[in-house]
Structure 1
Amino acid sequence: MSMKGKFRNFFGIEDEEYEIIEEEVEQENKPQRRSERKDDKANVVSLKSVQKSAKMVLFEPRSFNEVQDIADHIVNRRSVVINLQRVDTQQARQIIDFMSGTVYAVSGHIKKLGSQTFLCTPENIEISGNITEIMEETDPEQRW
């Protein structure tokens, strides 16, 4: 008789009880299938921010009517550089106000690059650094 058999006989453990205990241990050690895991949802990674290639779009609007096209690019997660030299000051302010709202809606950023040039980015693009501008003696109405 083996050592296990002597041990079972000494303590009065029958074979049936021993097999039940072994099955429970085997089930605990068996790896769970993917569908049986409870924490599967915690391991889900959003691929919304993954793109094949990042694009930057350059715009020189001539009127406020073009601002919707610019905003569509931001909503589609593309960076946009806007040059406002071809519009008057009032329309330029309206464009920047509209774009500020659009950028805020997508949790993005807007940054002034020059006197009439702005960079608008969606949330998946990080902007670092600053561009300083030497303010010339210009009409205060021209600054914004």
Structure 2
Amino acid sequence: MSIKNKIKNFFVEEDYEYEYVEEEQIPETNPIHSKQKNQNVVSLTSVQQPNSKVVLCEPRTYNEAQEIADNIVNKRAVVINLQRVDRNQAKRIVDFLSGTVYAVNGDIQKLGAETFLCTPENIDVSGSITDSLFSEDDYDKGW
């Protein structure tokens, strides 16, 4: 094929034969409306979030409490380890997160001496940790 024909074929469409196929038409059926009142009922398992996450945090200052609270507001469970924070800042962080959890109808639970679990409303926690795991000194800290 010469260059002239290549250029011509590039700019000018060749005549192609198109094959036309008639589609079979399907008669429309009218849906039968049921008189049941529970058509708008949806099971709760389909509403749950498929990607539930648990965030582990170990804050070093009170300023990091806002980031932890944002995770709770975004419907993520958060485990907080307060071992690296001084006592007064740890109490302030727990107070702040308690308010956040209350605002989203969640729950806050003490897992250990300085470890807490904050969960939003969409996450259920079952079971409990017995008090015998903690020493008497842990109760004197005022949590």
| TM-score interval, normalised by the smaller of the two chains | 0.5 to 0.7
Bigger radius of gyration: 1
Cα deviation, residue 50, structure 1: 2.6
Aligned-partner residue type, residue 141 of structure 2: Q
What TM-score comes out, normalization by structure 2 length? Answer: 0.66
Q: CA RMSD in A?
A: 2.8
Tell me what 1:78 maps to. 76
> Contact 1:59/1:70 (CA < 8 Å) preserved in 2?
yes
Tell me what 2:118 maps to. 120
Q: Which runs of 5+ in 1 are unaligned?
A: 1-29
Distance in 2 (alpha carbons) for counterparts of 1:43 and 1:137: 54
Q: Which runs of 5+ in 2 are unaligned?
A: 1-30
Paired residues, number: 111
What TM-score comes out, normalization by structure 1 length? Answer: 0.65
Quick one: percent identity of the two aligned structures?
A: 56
Query: Is 1:98 matched up with 2:96?
Result: yes
Within-5 A mapping of 1:1-144? 31-32=32-33, 43=40, 45=42, 50-134=48-132, 135-138=134-137, 142-144=141-143
Tell me what 1:9 maps to. none
C-alpha change, 1:116 and 1:125, in structure 2 (3 Å) is: same
